[in-house]
Amino acid sequence: MYLAKVHIFLKPVVNDPQGLTIKSALHNLGFSLVSSIRAGKYIEIKVATEDQDIAREQVDEMCRKLLANPVIERYSFTIEKISFAEKNGLG
């Protein structure tokens, strides 16, 4: 089994209203050194296969078809093999 860690962010040319709101709130709390923020999504997916290439292909397809909007977002992910304990929520 593999664990995919997916990061999805708006492309740099796309306005990020959530990031601007967070930046403003941080400034109001006294964190004036914050110059910019880009908000995104983080998703963990467990893929039930012993073949790393299949896990990678499946996660890439999930991102292209559903998880990320290719017009305005970019994504990256890592894949790592997980142990029996991690598979069963013990680790």
Q: Give the end-to-end CA distance of the chain in Å, rounded to a whole number.
A: 14
Distance CA 13, CA 41 (A): 17
All structural domains of the chain: 2-15+42-87 (3.30.1280.10)
Other C-beta atoms within 10 Å of 24: how many?
12
User: Which pTM does this prediction carry?
Assistant: 0.83
Per DSSP, what are the bridge partners of residue 90? none
- Tens-of-pLDDT digits for all 91 residues of the chain? 999 999 999 999 999 999 999 999 999 999 999 999 999 999 999 999 999 999 999 999 999 999 999 999 999 999 999 976 666 665 5
- The pLDDT score that the predictor gives to residue 83 is 79
